[in-house]
Amino acid sequence: MLIRNETPADAAAVHELNVAAFDGALEAKLVDALRGHTFPYVSLVADDKGVIAGHILFTPVHLPGHPRARLMALAPLAVLPGYQRSGVGSALVEAGLAQAREAGAGAVVVLGHPGYYPRFGFVPASRHGIRCAYMDSGEVPDEAYMIIELLPGHLEGLAGSVEYHAAFSAT
């Protein structure tokens, strides 16, 4: 299994992968809407001899009132059903976090399963005073919105509600 940067030739396979992994097109449409419209942009695929078995995307998010905050969101992470529970997702998360750090991210937020992401160092974002609109509306429990600090001390003095790219609301 090769973890590599997504190429333009991968776009259709990434779309179909997200449809299959999430049993619907919502996440696939989100990826399509974000592709090429954010910077920095980290998009990796797990390539199993030409089969795109997994995909992960990191895009910038904004923390109002904190111009020095360099945050990215991990969304989505998708693995083909036949490859799930085989380490593909973990390999994508680890490689993606490394690339997000290289791209200048000081921290990464994720809305995800609280039993999965802590193994990579994610903790509830509320511990750092970080929230999102999904929490504020009551749609998401506190423990499902998590953050990992990539640069030591980056989260010091930051607090507020993270704002996502408009594509997250449009899909």
Q: What is the pLDDT of residues 128-159, one digit of tens each?
A: 999 998 877 878 899 999 999 999 999 999 99
Q: Give me the amino acid identity at 46.
A: A
Distance CA 51, CA 53 (A): 6
- The amino acid present at 77, given as its one-letter code, is L
Give the residue with greater pLDDT, 136 vs 117: 117
Of 71, 67, 73, 89, the residue nearest 17 (C-alpha): 89
* Collapsed DSSP state (helix, strand, coil) of residue 141: coil
Mean pLDDT, range 1-9, rounded to an integer: 97
Q: Which of 13-22, 101-110, 128-137 has the lowest mean pLDDT?
A: 128-137
Please give the backbone phi and psi of residue 83, each rounded to the nearest 5 degrees, phi first. -105, -5
pLDDT number for residue 122: 98
> Which pTM value belongs to this model?
0.95
